[in-house]
Amino acid sequence: MDQLLQFVFSGLTVGAVYALVALGFTLIYNASDVINFAQGEFVMLGGMVTVFAYAAGVPLPLAALLAVAVAVATGLALHRFAIEPARGANAVTLIIITIGASILIRGIAQIVFDKQFHRFPSFSGEDPIAVLGASILPQSLWVLGGAAIIVALLWLFMEKTLLGKAVRATAANRLAARLVGIDTALVLALAFGVSGAIGALAGILVTPITLTSVTVGTLLALKGFAAAMLGGIGNPVGAVAGGLALGLLEALAAGFISSTYKDAVAFVVIIAVLFVLPQGLFGKRAVERV
């Protein structure tokens, strides 16, 4: 029983990171119909920039802030120099562009940083807390709490602010949004910037637990994508639920079946879900116009 609880805790922690990556996917997808495979690189940048700034003597909170700024700048540059010039291209072309961008970002990170695994100290100590026979790292609580706050803030932004409503209007219908005077170019740039920030925060929160290196982005992007698909792409609630579900399933499979094939879970699940529910768990049935 306490073993199960242990798996649930670690699953939710990893799941929260997947949820944030999936949320980043969703944001960009809703604003621009682009599947951004460079999403995982934001997470990598968040972790790596913080590590290296911290090692250079910058206080941890400031290092984290710097990392978020770098990721936001990367997101904006990605939009301005790679996505914007290819406007009107088909979905496959855009997917390949973002994959090219992720290879580019990783390549630059390899030159600027190194290929080793790194971490920085947990925010509030390394001593595990005992809960009902299982033990939780304090950093896990940071990850879960941080993810919850990010999701809540994003929700408030979307529902309560004018700019958030502009984002939702653009997601619903770009042409109509432009007709009522929304600057859709600004909304698009905003989506990429905010996605960068969310990814970076996920990377900063989880690095003390999982460590980071320049190569962590690829698998995170794929799993985040799987999570977004699981929830039905374009649905923010689905993205969070999909991420948490994926993390849980992964932890349970690693614990009870095989830790070698932990990474396979995401893809088996996604294929299985697509077979049964081709639109994802929370996706709307798309009606195709003829």
Partner 1 sequence: MRLAPRHATLLLVLAVFAALPFLLPSSFHLRVATLVWVQALAAVGLNLLMGLAGQVSLGHAGFFGIGAYAVALGPRHLGLDPLLSALAGLVLSGLLALVVGRPILRLRGHYLAVATLGLGILVWLVLNSEVGLTGGPDGIQVPRLVLFGWRVAGAETWYWITGLALLLGVWLALNLEDSPLGRALRALHDSEVAARVAGIDVARAKLVVFVIAAIYAALAGSLLALFNRFVTPQVADFLHSIELVTMVVIGGMGSTLGAIVGAAILTVLPQALTVFHDYEHAVLGLMIILFMIFLRQGIVPGLVALLPRRAVA
Nearest CB to partner 1, comparing residues 199 and 234:
234
Nearest CB to partner 1, comparing residues 65 and 252:
252
- Residue 47 near residue 53 (C-beta atoms within 8 A): no
DSSP 153-190: HHHHHHHHSHHHHHHHHHHH-HHHHHHTT--HHHHHHH
For 231-268, b/e burial (b = at least 16 CB within 10 A) is bbbbbbebbbbbbbbbbbbbbbbbbeeeeeebeebbee
**Residue 272, burial from CB neighbour count under 10 angstroms (0-12, 13-18, 19+):** exposed
Running DSSP on this structure, what letter comes out for residue 38?
A: T
- Residue 150 near residue 198 (C-beta atoms within 8 A): yes
**In the complex, least distance from residue 181 CB atom to partner 1, rounded to whole angstroms:** 29
- Residue 103 near residue 41 (C-beta atoms within 8 A): no
Q: Is 103 in the site for partner 1 (CB under 8 A)?
A: yes
Q: Is 226 in the site for partner 1 (CB under 8 A)?
A: yes
Q: Is 191 in the site for partner 1 (CB under 8 A)?
A: no
Stretch that binds partner 1, among 59-67, 93-101, 176-184, 198-206 (CB under 8 A): 93-101
Nearest CB to partner 1, comparing residues 45 and 144:
45
User: From residue 19 to residue 58, what is the string marking binding to partner 1 with x (rule CB under 8 A)?
Assistant: ----------------x-----------------------
Q: Which of 14, 17, 20, 82 binds partner 1 (CB under 8 A)?
A: 82
Q: Is 183 in the site for partner 1 (CB under 8 A)?
A: no
Stretch that binds partner 1, among 7-15, 65-73, 198-206, 226-234 (CB under 8 A): 226-234
**Three-state SS at 134:** strand
Stretch that binds partner 1, among 12-20, 55-63, 78-86, 132-140 (CB under 8 A): 78-86
Q: Which of 66, 69, 77, 99 binds partner 1 (CB under 8 A)?
A: 99
- Residue 12 near residue 247 (C-beta atoms within 8 A): yes
Q: Is 85 in the site for partner 1 (CB under 8 A)?
A: yes
DSSP 201-246: HHHHHHHHHH-B-TTHHHHHHHHHHHHHHHH-TT-HHHHHHHHHHH
Measured from the Cβ of residue 134, the count of other Cβ atoms closer than 10 Å reads 18
Stretch that binds partner 1, among 123-131, 156-164, 173-181, 258-266 (CB under 8 A): 258-266
Contacts to partner 1 by CB under 8 A: 35, 82, 85-86, 89, 91-93, 95-97, 99-108, 110-111, 218, 222, 225-226, 229, 233, 260-261, 263-264, 266-268, 270-271, 274-275, 278-279, 288, 290
